[in-house]
Amino acid sequence: MTESKRNITPISNLGEFGLIERLTNKIKLKNSSSLKGIGDDAAVLSFANKHIVVTTDLLTEGVHFNLMYTPLKHLGYKSVVVNLSDVAAMNAIPKQITVSLALSSKFSVEAVELLYEGISLACEKYGVDLIGGDTTSSLTGLTISVTAIGECEPEQIVYRSGAKKNDLICVTGDLGGAYTGLQLLERENEVFKVNKNIQPQFDGKDYILGRQLKPEARTDMRNIFSELKIKPTSMIDISDGLSSEIMHICKQSQVGAKIFEEKIPMDEQTKNMALELNINPLVAALNGGEDYELLFTVPVSDYDKVKNHPDITIIGHIADATEGTALVTGAGSEIELMAQGWNPLKE
Amino acid sequence: MTESKRNITPISNLGEFGLIERLTNKIKLKNSSSLKGIGDDAAVLSFANKHIVVTTDLLTEGVHFNLMYTPLKHLGYKSVVVNLSDVAAMNAIPKQITVSLALSSKFSVEAVELLYEGISLACEKYGVDLIGGDTTSSLTGLTISVTAIGECEPEQIVYRSGAKKNDLICVTGDLGGAYTGLQLLERENEVFKVNKNIQPQFDGKDYILGRQLKPEARTDMRNIFSELKIKPTSMIDISDGLSSEIMHICKQSQVGAKIFEEKIPMDEQTKNMALELNINPLVAALNGGEDYELLFTVPVSDYDKVKNHPDITIIGHIADATEGTALVTGAGSEIELMAQGWNPLKE
């Protein structure tokens, strides 16, 4: 193999986005049916009067999930939902998925069936057809690859790149729950490893556990936008943490942003758990990830339409690119945001 | 986790197809855009006047490839081609792919770039756009997941299920080369492990090594069918071995088949290598797999159109289901075919 003669740069030097950029920056789309390739939540293809969107995620055991505390049914459900969330972030309607599994010999038929029960439940709930896949073996652990396809009227697709100065920055739901839920599960798992007789302490933590183990995709927002008569100027799903996602929108829209600490929506359970774990709740919301809420921007003229909607919180506004991407604290000082979200390729 | 309370059936009891059948037999398609889900080489979706086909494959290190003798560039190329072969088997034109990678820390940026060089080369050669994917980490080894999307006029799609009694059974190219190439690579790798100073013996084996390391998808056949003014009644790509694929066609078309030993096309290098390795060349062709040729059927009235085409060999004919699926030997005796092709989930 010739690669041994080349320079060696650890992948951790670049991180996930750097690696993808390096690998894909020379790729040019050739077909007229490829409207949008790499660089958004999903690819956009046009075969006729509807556009289709295609997105895919790969989950590996020990990196994306720990089977010590993740029930296989929940894992199956979540592996579908994280892809549907990307479809929702394009303002498209998910229609089909493919699911590929690589399984080591430790998995039984019944274990895989449990995984599929979760996959089927997600398909049922979101009206999606499982239309294909591949099932094969691996030397170690479980790998899950899901591809989701959605459809959308061409004029309804929302990219990351459309945010304009003064647009309102909005999020759905609340943030940080999935991360604090994960930290709780990790803590109880460590306790369990030391003493197998100790029962986990999950009382009153049902909300954040659900956020981590059984997240939902905000496919409902498309209808809400329609009812409110708004179309976001940009949108992304919050999978890696609010900071990271805002920076994606700012980079692709060539704008800056200001978000306000006190506006960031967090559930009481999230705040309490963070404090119990000695984590700043704000850090859980900004950098925790896996909330699968939507981050989007709307023109400031839509303020009255979004200000009182129970599913939407305005957290800031788009600024000029020269103003950077900043968090305004309760005390009024500005802190430059950094993408410190979860990055599986960073050591 | 509740799965520990259930019955435990090893996956090896079912094998790949049994497991898939068990997992998916309750799945019902819900959307009118889902014309064909699990059960063919690719799924068929209709969004307008063109159908799109979607297919996906998952490749794991140590199971599907051995990096001791597989150059990463070749691996990237092959991981795309195996998916395009499925698109070709639907008589569709591949248009887009997504590629997901899970990488352990042993891989450098340069190693991944080599992999992508192969992926890009395949995209270039086949006129396909890489439109998305996911790049993440794994605890051990490399996993590659590719999804391919193709388009086809609705009336041109060819399923596995259309073979009729008396149809001619045809294959493209020749068979068994990829398998004997793999056995050669495995043999030389074993020698190398014992003595690192011994150079591999690859003289005069270029064809079978190419068949294993750099296979091609028969996307050219669509045009050849068009020029010959034929439309196959059924088609499948030969990824798991001729026996296995013929049985898929027979099962889904509810027919039997007779194929003739002496008609099965094999290259001289394939035959010689098989004999050198003490393998029956016929076994390499029937059960070897990875040739990525097409197996298809045409009405017997098309005999004159296909009989002299250099890319097509008639190897038998479709029979009544009650006649089974048989190989007719040179001596005239009949042997029932068995699907002994490569099955990663069988121990």
Q: Does A43 contact B131 at a Cβ distance shorter than 8 Å?
A: yes
Q: How confident is the model at residue A16 (pLDDT cuts 50, 70, 90)?
A: low
- With CA atoms as reference, the chain B residue closest to A100 would be B58
Rg of chain B over all Cα atoms, to the nearest angstrom = 21
User: Closest approach of chain B CAs to the CA of A328, in angstroms?
Assistant: 32
Give dist(CA A307, CA A295) in Å, integer: 15
The domain segmentation of chain B, as residue ranges, is 15-156, 160-336
Chain B: residue whose CA lies nearest to A140: B140
Rounded-to-integer distance, Cα B251 and Cα B318, Å: 12
Between residues B313 and A26, the one the model is more confident about: B313
- Contact yes or no for A11 and B109 at CB 8 A: yes
Q: CB–CB of A243/A340 below 8 Å?
A: yes
How close A17 gets to chain B, by Cα (Å)?
A: 9
Rounded to whole angstroms, the Cα distance separating B49 from A276 reads: 58
The CATH fold of domain A14-156? 60s Ribosomal Protein L30; Chain: A; (3.30.1330)
Nearest Cβ partner of A54 from B43, B59, B149? Answer: B149
Q: In chain A, whose CA is at the least distance from the CA of B346? A: A137
Which pLDDT tens digit goes with each residue over A159-168? Answer: 899 999 999 9
Helix (H) or strand (E) holding B210: helix B206-213
Q: Tell me the pLDDT of chain A averaged across its residues.
A: 87
With beta carbons under 8 A apart, name residues in chain A contacting B26: 120
For residue B108, the Cα-to-chain-centroid distance in whole angstroms is 30
The CATH number fitting domain B15-156, selected from 1.10.3720.10, 3.90.1150.10, 3.50.50.60, 3.30.1330.10? 3.30.1330.10
Does A275 score more than 70 pLDDT? yes
A contact test, residue of B8, B147, B290 with most A CBs within 10 A = B147
pLDDT surpassing 60 at residue A20: no
> Which of B11, B38, B125, B240 is best to mutate for the A interface (most A CBs within 10 A)?
B11
List chain B residues with CB under 8 Å of A139: 60-63, 140-141
> Residue A33 — very low, low, confident or very high, per pLDDT cuts 50/70/90?
low
Instruction: Summarize pLDDT for A208-237 with one digit per residue, the tens.
Output: 999 999 999 999 999 999 999 999 999 999
Q: Which of B1, B9, B347 sits opposite A109 (nearest CB)?
A: B9
User: What distance in Å separates the CA atoms of residue B19 and residue B25, rounded to the nearest whole number?
Assistant: 10
Predicted confidence (pLDDT) at residue A111 exceeds the cutoff of 50: yes
DSSP designation for B61: B
A chain contacts of residue B151, beta-carbon cutoff 8 Å: 33, 47
Q: How far is CA B296 from the centre of its chain?
A: 13
Q: Which helix (H) or strand (E) holds B45?
A: strand B43-46
> In the 3-class helix/strand/coil scheme, how is B110-178 assigned residue by residue?
HHHHHHHHHHHHHHHHHCCEEEEEEEEECCCCCEEEEEEEEEECHHHCCCHHHCCCCCEEEEECCCCHH
> Is residue A339 very low, low, confident or very high in pLDDT (cuts 50, 70, 90)?
low
Instruction: Output the DSSP codes for B67-126.
Output: TTT--HHHHHHHHHHHHHHHHHTTT-EEEEEEEEEEE-TT-BHHHHHHHHHHHHHHHHHH
- B137 falls in which pLDDT band (50, 70, 90)? confident
Q: Which of A8, A147, A347 sits opposite B108 (nearest CB)?
A: A8
Which region, left, alpha or beta, applies to residue A4 given φ > 0 means left and ψ of -120 to 50 means alpha? alpha
At B296 the three-state DSSP class reads strand
Which of B11, B50, B112 lies at the smallest CB-CB distance from A23?
Answer: B112
* Fold classification of A160-336 (topology level): Phosphoribosyl-aminoimidazole Synthetase; Chain A, domain 2 (3.90.650)
Q: ∠ CA(B143), CA(B91), CA(B299), 5° rounding?
A: 135
Residues of A in Cβ contact (< 8 Å) with B20: 135
First to last CA, chain A: 26
Sign, CA dihedral A229-A235-A238-A239, equals: positive
**pLDDT of A182-200, one tens digit each?**
999 999 999 888 888 888 8
Mean pLDDT of B194-200: 85
- Kindly report the three-state secondary structure assignment for every residue of chain A: CHHHHCCCCEHHHCHHHHHHHHHHCCCCCCCCCEEECECECCEEEECCCCEEEEEEEEEEECCCECCCCCCHHHHHHHHHHHHHHHHHCCCCEEEEEEEEEEECCCCEHHHHHHHHHHHHHHHHHHCCEEEEEEEEECCCCCEEEEEEEEEECHHHCCCHHHCCCCCEEEEECCCCHHHHHHHHHHHHHHHHHHCCCCCCCCCCCHHHHHHHHCCCCCCCHHHHHHHHCCCCCEEEECCCCHHHHHHHHHHHHCCEEEEEHHHCCCCHHHHHHHHHCCCCHHHHHHHCCCCCCEEEEECHHHHHHHCCCCCEEEEEEEECHHHCEEEECCCCCEEECCCCCCCCCCC
Nearest alpha carbon to residue B50 among A49, A43, A133, A96? A49
CA distance B308 to chain A (A): 35
Instruction: List, for residues B74-133, the tens digit of each pLDDT value.
Output: 999 999 999 999 999 999 999 888 889 898 888 887 888 888 889 989 988 998 888 888
Contact A139 B54 (CB under 8 A): no
- For residue B185, which residues of chain A lie inside 8 Å, CB to CB? none
Closest CA to B309 of B203, B227, B250: B227
B142 vs A contacts (CB less than 8 Å): none
Neighbours of A217 (CB within 10 A): 26
Q: What percent of chain A has pLDDT over 90?
A: 57
Cβ neighbours of A49 in B, within 8 Å:
48
Sign of CA dihedral A105, A103, A289, A93: negative
Residues A299-336 pLDDT 10s: 999 999 999 999 999 999 999 999 999 999 988 899 99
pLDDT bracket for residue A2 (50, 70, 90): very low
Asked whether the beta carbons of residue B6 and residue A110 sit closer than 8 angstroms, the reply is yes
Best mutation target among A9, A32, A56 (most B Cβ atoms within 10 Å) is A56
Residue A279 has pLDDT above 70, yes or no: yes
How many CB atoms are located within 10 Å of the residue B269 CB?
A: 22
- What's the pLDDT at A4? 41
Check pLDDT > 50 for residue B64: yes
B60 → closest Cβ in A50, A67, A136: A136
Task: Specify the pLDDT at position B2.
Answer: 39
Residue B235: which H helix or E strand, with range?
A: strand B234-237
Nearest CA in chain B to A48: B48
Share of chain A above pLDDT 70, in %: 84
Query: Of B242, B264, B248, nearest to B315 (Cα)?
Result: B264
Type of residue at A291: D
| pLDDT one-digit tens code per residue, B230-267 | 999 999 999 989 999 999 899 989 999 999 999 999 99
Q: How far is B166 from chain A (nearest CA, A)?
A: 31
User: Is A136 in Cβ contact with B58 (below 8 Å)?
Assistant: yes
The residue type of A33 is: S
Closest chain B C-alpha to A97 CA, distance in angstroms = 10
The answer to whether residue B32 scores a pLDDT higher than 90 is: no
Cα gap B161→A326, rounded to integer Å: 59
Amino acid of residue B223:
N
Q: Nearest CA to B108 among A326, A124, A12, A215?
A: A12
